[in-house]
Chains A and B, each alone.
Chain A
Amino acid sequence: MTHHKLDARNILCPLPVIRTQNLVLTLPPGDTLDVSCTDPGALCDIPAWCRINGHTIVEARVTNPDTNEVLISIRVGKK
């Protein structure tokens, strides 16, 4: 199992979701992925995308309120 990182800062939803989706599609189940975003909408959208596609949200939190930076940690599920 491998840990991955995705920088989705300075782009607006749904692009962070699309980037997450496209990367997750290439990863095997069990891998983990940290996604950094600055669109606060990602805190809602990426977990929603994970729920409907069978992936687990390990953590979703604001990491810097001044810059709206958020971190969403995902464990890839079965596809």
Chain B
Amino acid sequence: MTIQRKAVSLISGGLDSMLATQAMLDQGIHVEGINFYTGFCVEGHTHAIRKQDKAKPKRNNALWVAEQLGIKLHIIDVIEEYKDVVINPSHGYGSNLNPCLDCKCFMVKKAHQWMDENGFDFIITGEVVGQRPMSQRRDTMPVIQRESGAEDRLLRPLCAKILPETLPEREGWVNREALFAFNGRGRRPQIALAGQMGIADFAQPAGGCCFLTDAAYSNKLADLWTTRGERIYELDDIMLLKVGRHLRPRPHFKLIVGREEGENRFLEGYRKQFTHIIPVSHLGPLVLIDGDLNTGDLEIAARLAARYGQGKNEASVRLEAHIKDGDNFEMDVRPYQVDEIPVEWHL
């Protein structure tokens, strides 16, 4: 009797993992998907927060891909475990605070654990040799196999023919000849294969799927670590870095200024945790203050808050300050003019 072989597929929601999974399904392999939530995933968050993005589909692309392929998807919360990957990457960062190689090692390792716990036979990914400058290079792909512990149970169907044979191929669970030899950054082979497989709709994420590859986001995270004096974070910290305009007028405090209604609504959920300022005399943003205020700091914060409201050109604007675990009071301030705000205050 033939044994039904089972593979767990790392599903990002993009085209490559979709194609790799479909290639296995076409060979009669039972495939289930796995998707890891690190807290830095671009997926969904900003769309959910920002009102101007309401026209965009709110779908989670990994779930959508799984449904298109007709496979189960297991979404795993790795927020806590992932901190060590971000804070102490043994292979270093990419051009920003993106620890791509450590990240891939971590995810394949987690998938390998899941494989063992659930009686699956091997792991597949949508990796392509040369596709990414850090984690998908000919010299780093073996590192992932080795450091994850997956070794030759890690199969990359899209470029398998230009890599050493893996266990599923050697054992005949998978026909190596029916796999692919994609190489490089070009997307044409994948687009063509999608056409052959009848896949017409797929996500084309702009700028990657992780906030850590974003320079502005990484700068804000670096600022957080610098001003706190240690490289730590909680989920709320990294969520708030995705939202609003961040200004740091003094080393010991910064402002998070909502840029539109959706962001203001999101920031409202944090009011109890932060000293904050709300507009009174004019429409304006909710402003959270992260840090401890010294004498005179609240006026700086209020003048900045007034700058981003509709009274920005008035001589005086009334705001209400809510001190964390303290009093609420109204204050009248002169809004900063644009040339009074040093560029270096903007994070």
Contacts and interface: CB of A to CB of B under 8 A. Distances in A.
A41 B75 contact: no
Interface stretch (B56-64, B149-157, B212-220, B323-331): B56-64
B45 interface: yes
Contacts of B73: 49, 52-53
A41 B60 contact: yes
Contacts of B66: 48, 52
Interface string B52-89: 00000111101110110011111111000000000000
B208 interface: no
A55 B152 CA distance: 35
A18 B77 contact: yes
A75 to B, nearest CB: 18
Nearest to B77: A18
A65 B77 CA distance: 29
Contacts of B63: 14, 17, 45, 48-49, 52
A68 B43 CA distance: 19
Contacts of B64: 48
Contacts of A40: 48, 58
B239 interface: yes
Interface string A58-78: 000000000010000000000
Contacts of B41: 14
Contacts of B239: 12
Nearest to B57: A44
Contact of B75 (A10, A18, A44): A18
A10 B70 CA distance: 30
Contacts of A49: 63, 73, 75
B57 A15 contact: no
A44 B56 CA distance: 12
A17 B75 contact: yes
A45 B67 contact: no
A18 B75 CA distance: 6
Contact of A13 (B43, B74, B265): B43
Nearest to B262: A68
Contact of B44 (A10, A21, A41): A41
A43 interface: yes
A51 interface: yes
Contacts of A17: 60, 63, 75
A35 B263 CA distance: 23
Contacts of A44: 57-60
B71 A52 contact: yes
A60 B44 CA distance: 19
Interface in B251-299: 265, 269
B60 A48 contact: yes
Nearest to B47: A41
A49 B70 CA distance: 11
Contacts of B24: none
A48 B60 CA distance: 9
27 contacts: A12-B48, A13-B48, A13-B58, A14-B35, A14-B41, A14-B43, A14-B63, A15-B77, A17-B75, A18-B76, A40-B58, A41-B44, A41-B47, A41-B59, A44-B57, A44-B59, A45-B60, A45-B63, A48-B64, A49-B73, A49-B75, A51-B67, A52-B67, A52-B70, A52-B72, A53-B72, A68-B265
